[in-house]
Amino acid sequence: MVTSAEHYGLVLNSDFDYKKYLETMHSEGMNYTRVFMGSYVEIPESFGIENNSLAPAVGSFITPWKG
């Protein structure tokens, strides 16, 4: 199994370029990923991560329910 591990921001942040992420996985021969879906998000300052995809900008948080 070849993997890229997981990308939690993939399905909850509309600013995340999921097409580029999936295309890169495909072109590099990766065939497994895990995504996180739910109500967990982080604030931009969390853990000192720059451009944290798990900390969507205002208006970019995607939920499967009406907000």
Is residue 67's pLDDT more than 60?
A: no
- Cβ distance 16 to 10 under 8 Å? yes
In the chain, what is the straight-line distance between the N-terminal and C-terminal CA atoms, in Å? 37
Q: What is the DSSP string of the chain?
A: -----B-GGGGTBTTS-HHHHHHHHHHTT----B---SS----TTGGG-TT-TTSPPTT-B--SS--
pLDDT, tens digit (0-9, with 9 covering 90-100), for 21-62:
888 888 988 877 766 666 788 888 888 988 888 898 888 988
